[in-house]
Chain A
């Protein structure tokens, strides 16, 4: 059976994971110190979802990928300079705060509304992709709630692989405890997949893809809908970094066994 998909990828932006992050208390609640000064990247979990979406669309004629992203417009624009070179997509921008401290219920409502507003969306072809977790939020709840708001009952979290069978059904590998996978099947769209790491490498930069994407990215940014969070009923009891002890040594000539032994010895100390 031949089908095509409308794949909507929800992907936020987060501070570049190579930065040193420090929580602070701001007038509006907890925040990351100098977050707006730090370089941002597309959330690594959601990035995998985007690459998987592009791969599926490429192999399924007639399919299309949308990227829905919530963040400050200027930061979104900057991140798109890198992301837009990777894979083809149509951009949907939502201009709002970027933070792991926003209320999941509100974020998911805003994302679901943005998806529903995509012109020509056909729910019978809809696959909603996103990160199972996020680099700024470990709850793993956002995508689940987006699916609920869209009325999608077939949801899969911690996905590492998606296969399309000849009859159009979807076979999905989900991570479960003990380092194992659970294999599920569903008849087809609509479905929501919260991706773990997938199996695809980061696509190489392609200037032509970038030029094509930019035709939709800049207009999307210009008409990005401003978003505000009420934050009602949300309070944080405590925000802190785990205590850490740093001892750095970079080695290139040790075997994994030796490195593991040294780390174990260090922990025992």
Chain B
């Protein structure tokens, strides 16, 4: 067995085992699934002989490995409605009946929800619109405090598509891919770092942005001093000409800070000619590549949303048919969008998106989700239902504007983390899948031509395909479609309509701000509704009780109490234990790290605590939050939400979100 030595970084100097493969994939999401589904079918000829040969094991097909962070494939993903164009291209004979919880789209509605409580924060324009709707409701498609939009633009439609549980779909795809015998998918195996190499063959692991699992030369985690501007890697000799030569798995048997403890097992180095990075919007390897190679000029990743959802058993007498798709806007806050997708057998996926342009410093997806469910229009469908599982994830909403360098020597990026999401149509799974298939076709071309996976070769095959595809064409139209939301919801909606109806020729709004610039103080945000003295009192009371602030703030401004029923309306803590449940295997380091305590100490909003989807971030000593790995659902909301920028990189906050194990055990999401 070969052994390699790391030069720097976490547990530096530790001798590590090495495994050689031809292709290593980071993360098993829709993009990697598309990649593997396409690739795996073409690695072996009909007579069983290799269609292309491995370089590490001559005479057999290429060794293709995929490592997934979550404890099983299909954990920690989301429910979707999709046109499924790319999926059908890969599986022309796709039989929906094979995929649990899949249903064809039969009905779509977009609803504007009015506020029955008067507690939401609405602009003058919206208040006026609400008044007009209520006055003329007799002549409008209005019922139960909701207006059904009489017309929606075609670009929002999902006719001909399907409602899916992405968890169930990923399990199904995983079975298809694995059954070919040409690909191995290993869940429960996070990848810690990407391995980079210079021409002189030095190997180093890139750091996580703003610090790796261990101390790096310019980045001292938990220290009392701010670092000097860092190059983004642990090894100063590495440049942006360095090539990716594989990945390093996460160390096992370490303490919270990553130091060796009982049963220390160094993460293995997986060396491969091609590293396929499909680890989503908050993936550790994607972040490291962004930090090391930087984003292309004028690109940035500033727009995001936290999606939180329930899977619900609908009441026995439900009137909702499988394939029904409801989208909502306007409530519980104008900035928050909702969805309800109906699966077969009286099951629904439903939830909300809390976007980056919702400026509340006390934003909480969980409480808002409950108020959304309780809206009269929706509650009549949900009352008597039962929570089956719960989950949350963040979505990169920058679209093509957030596209990183798609390829480099030894690596290629696909899926959501590569900027494939269409931010106009709100479609991401189909696009991610398509980028995976495009890369697979490119890789097969290169393997057959016996060409190496260089930046140039990948550019001429994968990137060329992607640029010529519908994914790129539609992404270009969508690129600036949400800029209007930077100036308010009404302008945002008008801006989207303008872009959609003019094919991108007209747009409205401005370049998105960095997330931290959009987070106001509590006093400023609630000016006129809660006095600074009252906020100080709430702060003190919450600190004494060790709880986050948002519930008390929402109570104060008039949100009604949530009537817990133990079935569907349950406490946040109970949701963590029902259906999904969170698991955190022992022996791994914390994956959420507050880099510089002094920045936390001066932070007034502590929005990371308010926004945490799993209540894993709580008040801590000396005003530095605590992180509890046993509650983390790995949604990544903390990464986006931090209100404190780093001195040397204003695009990043003071929270590092690294590779980690565990998370939700739910396959229905």
- A residues in contact (CB < 8 Å) with B: 16, 18-20, 34, 36-39, 74, 77-78, 81-82, 85, 201, 204-208, 210-211, 214, 218-219, 221-222, 246, 248-250, 252
Tell me how many residues of B have a C-beta within 8 Å of chain A. 52
Q: Which residues of A contact B187 (CB under 8 A)?
A: 81-82
How many inter-chain residue pairs (CB < 8 Å) link A and B?
99
**B65 contacts the other chain (CB 8 A):** yes
Can you spell out 13 A-B residue pairs with CB atoms less than 8 angstroms apart? A19-B665, A19-B666, A20-B578, A37-B101, A39-B665, A77-B178, A81-B178, A82-B71, A82-B188, A85-B189, A204-B252, A204-B265, A222-B179
* Interface pair A250/B574, CB less than 8 Å apart: no
Distance in Å: Cβ of B503 to nearest Cβ of chain A = 41
* Interface pair A211/B566, CB less than 8 Å apart: no
Q: A78-B171, A82-B71 are in contact. Are A208 and B19 (CB under 8 A)?
A: yes
* Interface pair A208/B577, CB less than 8 Å apart: no
Q: Which residues of A contact B268 (CB under 8 A)?
A: 206-208
* Interface pair A211/B19, CB less than 8 Å apart: yes
Distance in Å: Cβ of A126 to nearest Cβ of chain B = 30
Chain A proximity mask over B181-199: 1 for CB below 8 Å, otherwise 0 = 1001111110000000000
**B168 contacts the other chain (CB 8 A):** yes
**B573 contacts the other chain (CB 8 A):** yes
Tell me which of A205, A214, A246 contacts B252 (CB under 8 A).
Answer: A205
Tell me which of A18, A77, A218 contacts B665 (CB under 8 A).
Answer: A18
Distance in Å: Cβ of B97 to nearest Cβ of chain A = 13
Tell me which of A34, A77, A249 contacts B573 (CB under 8 A).
Answer: A249
Closest 3 interchain pairs by CB?
A: A18-B581, A18-B665, A39-B667
* Interface pair B186/A205, CB less than 8 Å apart: yes
Q: Which of B186, B583, B668 has the most CB of A within 10 A?
A: B186
Distance in Å: Cβ of B665 to nearest Cβ of chain A = 4
**B100 contacts the other chain (CB 8 A):** yes
How far, in angstroms, from A140 to B249 measured CA to CA in the complex? 39
Q: Which residues of A contact B179 (CB under 8 A)?
A: 77, 218, 221-222
Q: A77-B179, A78-B175 are in contact. Are A37 and B668 (CB under 8 A)?
A: yes
* Interface pair B583/A38, CB less than 8 Å apart: no
Known contacts A221-B179, A250-B573; can you find 10 more A-B pairs with CB under 8 A? A34-B668, A78-B174, A82-B72, A205-B252, A207-B186, A207-B268, A210-B186, A218-B178, A246-B574, A248-B571
Q: A78-B73, A246-B574, A250-B631 are in contact. Are A207 and B388 (CB under 8 A)?
A: no
DSSP majority for the A interface? loop
Which residue in chain A gives the minimum CB-CB distance to B174? A78
* Interface pair A207/B65, CB less than 8 Å apart: yes
* Interface pair B175/A85, CB less than 8 Å apart: no
Distance in Å: Cβ of B346 to nearest Cβ of chain A = 12
Distance in Å: Cβ of A221 to nearest Cβ of chain B = 8
**B153 contacts the other chain (CB 8 A):** no
* Interface pair A207/B168, CB less than 8 Å apart: no
How far, in angstroms, from A198 to B578 measured CA to CA in the complex? 29
* Interface pair A248/B574, CB less than 8 Å apart: yes
Which residue in chain A gives the minimum CB-CB distance to B265? A204
How far, in angstroms, from A82 to B186 measured CA to CA in the complex? 7
**B29 contacts the other chain (CB 8 A):** no
Distance in Å: Cβ of A163 to nearest Cβ of chain B = 22
Chain A proximity mask over B541-568: 1 for CB below 8 Å, otherwise 0 = 0000000000000000000000000100
* Interface pair B100/A36, CB less than 8 Å apart: yes
Q: Which residues of B contact A221 (CB under 8 A)?
A: 179
* Interface pair B265/A207, CB less than 8 Å apart: no
* Interface pair A207/B189, CB less than 8 Å apart: yes
Q: Which residues of A contact B1 (CB under 8 A)?
A: 208
Which residue in chain B gives the minimum CB-CB distance to A38? B667
Which residue in chain A gives the minimum CB-CB distance to B667? A39
Tell me which of A39, A85, A207 contacts B72 (CB under 8 A).
Answer: A39
Distance in Å: Cβ of B582 to nearest Cβ of chain A = 8
Which residue in chain B gives the minimum CB-CB distance to A214? B184
Q: A77-B179, A78-B171, A207-B19 are in contact. Are A252 and B628 (CB under 8 A)?
A: yes
**B75 contacts the other chain (CB 8 A):** yes
How far, in angstroms, from A218 to B574 measured CA to CA in the complex? 39
How far, in angstroms, from A39 to B74 measured CA to CA in the complex? 9
* Interface pair A248/B577, CB less than 8 Å apart: yes
Q: Which residues of A contact B587 (CB under 8 A)?
A: 204
* Interface pair B667/A37, CB less than 8 Å apart: yes
Q: Which residues of A contact B75 (CB under 8 A)?
A: 39
